[in-house]
Structures are given as structure tokens and as C-alpha cells.
Amino acid sequence: MDAKEVLKAHVLKNTELTDEQFDYFFSLFELRKFKKGQVIISEGSLVDHEYFVIYGCLKSFFINEELKMFILQFAMPTWWASDFEALYNGTKAKIALDCISDAEVLCLSNANREKICREIHSVEHFFRWRTNKGYVASQKRLLSFMNNNVKFRYEELLKLYPELYNMVPKNLIAAYLGVSRETLSRLYHT
Amino acid sequence: MDAKEVLKAHVLKNTELTDEQFDYFFSLFELRKFKKGQVIISEGSLVDHEYFVIYGCLKSFFINEELKMFILQFAMPTWWASDFEALYNGTKAKIALDCISDAEVLCLSNANREKICREIHSVEHFFRWRTNKGYVASQKRLLSFMNNNVKFRYEELLKLYPELYNMVPKNLIAAYLGVSRETLSRLYHT
DNA sequence: CGGAAGGTGTGACCTACATCACATTTAAAA
DNA sequence: TTTTAAATGTGATGTAGGTCACACCTTCCG
């Protein structure tokens, strides 16, 4: 399935658009291919796009003063990623984004998103829906973080996204769970 | 300032609406007054409204099997609260909502929100904006949770919302920070 | 193909925070 | 105003997970 079809299926799941509307929507995206390890948003840069994953896996992450990395999201096909705070406020990126594997991504600029949201009511509806889903997921993750220990959270993550087990090295999984790689390793070995 | 003016100022900060549009929007809300301790959403119930705080302070929270409470949000004037997952999916509440102080709240039903979002493009825009803000805030909190210790998070919270210091008991602040009340107490005493 | 970098396992030890127990203070309710 | 419940402080002790150190093992690139 090509990029256009992937996006179309994703949007139509929740929003009704005519073919012409969707074609116009799609025309605002730019398809780009990235290599494993390639950086899409680097900390401190200006952010003017958000990214819809067609193929592969991205990570959005934060690195603190002690160079410890925290992963906010593993973005897999049909997921959206960016530093949304920087993107919406026009501030510099605190969250970086790069590729865990080779990836194919549809890029939408902030300006184009706002433009089409103004022009086509249904597209605004779609983005409301999308953001809402992200918000709910983020709240759930926060709650799980407060409530559950590492082992539980690890198994919860793998149950939700089994493909991560093979796709993503354990040290990155640890950075997502907010735990040291040693502790994660000791959950099943030792 | 009365409820209508509070909501109007809040909406107009980000969205243009004519007076007639706003009057219609406002007509879909019901103003309710609650007493301190009163429950608005109880765990397991069906959720069909979201709540815009005019006066006072609510908390949204989760209680786990061991009866430990985790607070997701202290909702103060101009904040929105509900169990948004249950509200959007029509499932039973996992998140409860009650009043920390006497409170005055504007209630909007899920059906009415969706209705007016369909009818008035700008209102849909407003809700997209609002949810986006919530999503960004939630991500930031998650990051702070992973990155910072209790003392830092406590001071960060008080800097952002100084009014909480007097308004909300420390055991609830602890439940928001995801820490035991004893540990919070020992930050400055002992 | 060979070397460098990235990823993983594991021991020894440390620390932030949890839990339990109980005393004291403050606030609400009768 | 008395009684009861909530909120808070503090000691003793337990534990999940962090940190540091080092070995080994892949993967990938020149």
C-alpha cells in the first residue's frame, strides 16, 4: 500500500472527506525517505512540520543535562510525531525526532495544517480527533507510570505493541519506560 | 465576573466567534454549583459531560486496587475536566471527578459538543486548540516525572500554580506528584 | 575482513522513596 | 462546645531501581 492509501485509510476511519478534498489534503504533504539513525528534528532547531509515518519507526525523545535520554514516543506506521509544543508555539525544539529504522514519512507543515483546517471543516475535525486520542493515551501512560512498576509497564508496552520487541533495542525501551537499561535487563535475566 | 463572561474570555482568547455564535454556544451549557467534597463523576458510572470550572477547584483522580489515589489534574477556573476517554468512547469512568472546594461549573454534554462542533467550524477549532494544549501539558508532565525528583516536581508545581499551596491539602499534592504524603512532608521538615 | 561502535548481561554497592506505626494538630460536624 | 475525622510530622526499617565497572557479543561500515 502506498503512502496516499495509508493516509487515506487513516483519515477516513474517523472523518468523511470527498475524494477531491482528500486529494487536496494529500497534496499538502511531502513524502520523504530517511535512513536509520537520520535526524528529523534536532534539539534547539525550529520546528515547522509534523510527520505521519508510512513505514519504519521513529522515536521522539528528550535528553537532559546529564545526557540521559527519555523517549516520549515510538512512532510507527499511521502514527504522527513532532515536537508539538515547539510546532504550535513557534519555539525551539526541546524534543528531538529521529529514525530507529529506515523510514518513509509524510511531512505536513504547520502553516499548511492551519490553512487546510481553516478551509475544510472536516479536516479540522480530523485533527481534533487525532489530538484527542494522543491526549488520552498520554494521560493513560502517566497513570501507568505512577501506578505500576517497571516489569508491569514493560509487559503492558509489549502487549500493546509486540512489534517493538524485535524492532527496537532494549536500551531504547528502557529509555521509554524511564528506567535504566540494567534494571530492564535484570527483569528476566539474573 | 459571571460564568458567561469567564467562558467568553476563555474562548475568544483563541477563537473568533460572533456574539450570536457565542450565545448559542453558551446556551448549550448548564451552570451548576457544587459543595466541597461533592462527587461529579464516580468510578464506573457513564460519563456524558465535560466541565468548565468557573470558580473553586476540582480534582480528577484514579484509585487503584490497593485504594491508593493518583491525581491527574487539579482543575481550577478556566480549566476543563472530565474522564475524556470514557466521555469520547462511551465507556464507564475509570477516572473520577470531585470538588476540593465549593465550586461553580459549566457543564457541556458530549452530544452537544459534537453537535456544535459540526455546526460551527470555529467551535471545532476551539476544541482542537484546547485539546492540543492539554496534550502538550500532559507530555511535559510525563517528562518531568521521568526526569526530576519529587522536590523539583513539587516546586515546579507550586511555581506554576501558587494558589494550590493554600487551596489543596498536602496529601492531595502528594497524590498528584505520585509520592507518599510522608515523603512530601519530609522534603522540608525533618 | 577487521576494527569500532553499539547493544547486552551481571556483580557490588548506593539512594530515593515506600511502608508501618504512632503522636500531634487542625478542621469539620453534630 | 464537644466529638470525630482529616491532615500532618517523624522515627525505624524495607526495597525497587540507580550507578559504576567490566565482560562479552553483535552489527555495520571503511
A12 Cα to chain B: minimum distance (Å): 17
Chain C footprint positions (protein CB, under 7 Å): 6-12, 16-21, 29
pTM for the full model? 0.96
Task: Delimit the domains of chain B by residue range.
Answer: 3-122
**pLDDT tens-place string over residues A90-147:** 999 999 999 999 999 999 999 999 999 999 999 999 999 999 999 999 999 999 999 9
Which burial class, exposed, middle or buried, applies to A28 when counting CB atoms under 10 A from its CB (0-12, 13-18, 19+)? middle
pLDDT at A100: 96
pLDDT band at A152 (very low <50, low <70, confident <90, very high): very high
Residue indicated by cell numbers 508532565: B141
Going by their DSSP bridges, the two strands A96-99 and A58-63 should be labelled as antiparallel
Residue from A88, A89, A138 to probe the interface with B (highest B Cβ count within 10 Å): A138
Question: Would you say residue A173 has pLDDT above 80?
Answer: yes
Q: What percent of chain A has pLDDT over 90?
A: 98
Least Cα distance to A34 among A8, A56, A2, A65 occurs for A56
Protein residue nearest nucleotide C8, by CA to C1':
A185
**Does the pLDDT of residue B190 top 80, yes or no?**
no
Closest CA to A88 of B131, B59, B21, B72: B131
Q: Which of B41, B21, B153 shows the shortest CA–CA distance to B97?
A: B41
Neighbouring C-beta atoms of residue A34, cutoff 10 Å:
18
- What pLDDT does A35 receive? 95
Amino acid identity, position A29: F
Q: Is the CB of B167 under 7 A from strand C?
A: no
Q: Please report the pLDDT score of residue B179 as a whole number.
A: 98
A64, A121, A146 ranked by CB distance to B70: nearest = A146
Q: What is the pLDDT of residue A189?
A: 87
Nearest-CA distance A121 → chain B (Å):
6
User: Do B139 and A138 make contact, defined as CB atoms within 8 angstroms?
Assistant: yes
Average pLDDT score over chain B: 97
Per-residue confidence (pLDDT) for residue B189, from 0 to 100: 86
Q: How confident is the model at residue B66 (pLDDT cuts 50, 70, 90)?
A: very high
Q: Do A135 and B140 touch (CB under 8 A)?
A: no
Q: From the CA of B42, how many Å to the nearest CA of chain A? A: 17
Q: Which residues of A touch B146 (CB under 8 A)?
A: 70, 145, 178
Residues 6+ apart with CB under 8 A from B112: B28
The pLDDT of residue B64 is 95
Q: Does domain A3-122 have CATH number 2.60.40.1930?
A: no
Interface mutation target, options B47, B83, B88, B121, chain A, most CBs of A under 10 Å = B121
Residue A11: Cβ within 10 Å count: 22
